[in-house]
Every structure is written in C-alpha cells, then in structure tokens.
A and B are shown apart, each in its own frame.
Chain A
Amino acid sequence: MVEESDTYHIRPNHRLKFKPAVVKGYIRDIVRERLSDVQYDPETVAELTCSLAESIKDKVKTAEFDRYKIVVQVLIGEQRGQGVKMSARCLWDADTDNYAEDVFMNDSLFCVVTVFGSYYY
C-alpha cells in the first residue's frame, strides 16, 4: 500500500500523475464487457454493483499510479424514464488530484462510474 516513510515530494512527476483519460478507458472496457447484455434484476444487481466496483478498483491499481489513493463509486439504476442528477464537489489539490467518470446505458439500466485519485504526500 502507501509507504510510511516521507518522500518530501509535494507533487508527483508529470508522467506519474493520475491520468483521467487512461482511467476512463479502463472504466469503459470493464463496464461494457460486464453490462452490455445484462437486464436489471433486483436480486442480482446489488451484488453486481459491488463486484463491478472491486474490479474497477483492481484494474486501476494495475496502472500503478504511485502513492495515489483511489476511490471508486458505482451507481446502477433501472431505466424507467425517471430523471436523475448526480454531482460531486471535492476539496483537494487540483494540481495532483483528479477524477474520471463514465456513463453507460442500455435499455433496462444505466450505470455511472466515478473514480477519484488523491495523492498521498
């Protein structure tokens, strides 16, 4: 996990920063692969949401954003023509921290995934 020792780095090297575009690609692939032909079913979708969050977190970990803490949030809802609004506000260091999000819809459900990355100084 994150190391205990102090590195005295106040920001990561540019190449090692949290890259939203890369993470968005991961989210897209995983969600499309897992949800493209799934119908909304109240019994199974709860467990599906959890496992999707775990998979996305594990995939983002493989990208090895060093010293970054990752938060993944997955929202799955049934499509019944209702209105939904989701918003987020963050208090963080805009230079080092970032987020990636993606929305997936098919005719029976919609899925919103947000991944936040926060640098541990």
Chain B
Amino acid sequence: VDLLLMFCDVFQGSFNSEEAENVVKESVLGGDDYSQTHVNKWTAAIVERCLTQLVKLNKPYKYIVTCSVMQKTGAGLHTANSCFWDTSMDGSCTVRWENRTMYCVVSVFAVCIA
C-alpha cells in the first residue's frame, strides 16, 4: 500500500520514499539477522509483495522490481541506473533499508505501455 502511494507520486513528478520503505521494513526482514539459508526466500518475498502492490494500481505500466540484500561486513556497495525511456511518462524509485546485520536495496522501474 505504501509503495503504491509512493508510485502515484512518482508519476505526478514528486517523490516520497518514506512510505515505500515500510513495505520492506514491516514485512519480511524486520529484526532477523542475515542468514544464507533464508536470504533466497526473503528477496523473493520482497519482490513478490512489491509487484503485487504495484499491479493493484491498475495503471498501464510494465514494472521491473529488483532487490539486493547484502550482509554487513564493512564492505562498500554502490548502485547506479541508466535508463533510455520516455522521461515524461516513465519513472523509477530506489529504497534503501538496513538493520544490524544487513543492507537491503529495492529498485522499482515503471515503463509506460503506449
């Protein structure tokens, strides 16, 4: 629901990522520690949830949702995106979240259909 609202803002030009963070925070990761055995499940669940929320918006858009989860060991991480699209209609949003043992970065791209 929160990612939903965030997305409406993106389409109208403004941007509020606080609401989007809640989708990641409240749901899957919460207070868990990084675990090699569970991380597959977590990333899959996060992207599924984001995508289902976006689909409920019923807009004529195709969505691409990516999620990266990284264990905290003091290493650095950088992400960059470059897009070739219609800047008036298409948009993207990236949400960063962390807890004691891991970082999570979720990116959503919305591409207009005709």
Tell me the A residues contacting B by CB distance below 8 Å: 1-2, 6, 40, 42, 45-46, 49-50, 52-54, 56-57, 60-61, 69-93, 97, 114, 116, 118, 120-121
Contacts and interface: CB of A to CB of B under 8 A. Distances in A.
A69 B47 CA distance: 21
24 contacts: A1-B86, A57-B83, A61-B84, A69-B83, A69-B84, A70-B83, A70-B84, A71-B83, A72-B81, A72-B82, A73-B66, A75-B68, A75-B79, A77-B70, A77-B75, A78-B77, A82-B73, A83-B39, A85-B43, A85-B68, A91-B55, A93-B62, A118-B64, A121-B113
Given A84-B70, A89-B51, A91-B55, A75 B64 contact: no
B107 interface: yes
A73 B62 contact: no
B111 A45 contact: no
Interface in B7-65: 34, 36, 39-40, 42-44, 47-48, 50-51, 54-55, 62-65
Contacts of B72: 82
Contacts of A114: 66
A91 B84 CA distance: 18
A58 to B, nearest CB: 8
Given A40-B76, A71-B92, A114-B66, 7 more contacts: A42-B76, A45-B76, A57-B82, A71-B109, A80-B75, A91-B63, A118-B64
Q: Which among B51, B55, B81 has the greatest number of chain A C-beta atoms within 10 A?
A: B81
A67 to B, nearest CB: 10
A87 B76 contact: no
Contacts of A75: 68, 77-79
Given A6-B114, A49-B78, A79-B75, A85 B85 contact: no
Nearest to B72: A82
A94 B82 CA distance: 22
A90 B63 contact: yes
A87 B66 contact: yes
B67 interface: yes
A76 B113 contact: no
Contacts of B47: 87-89
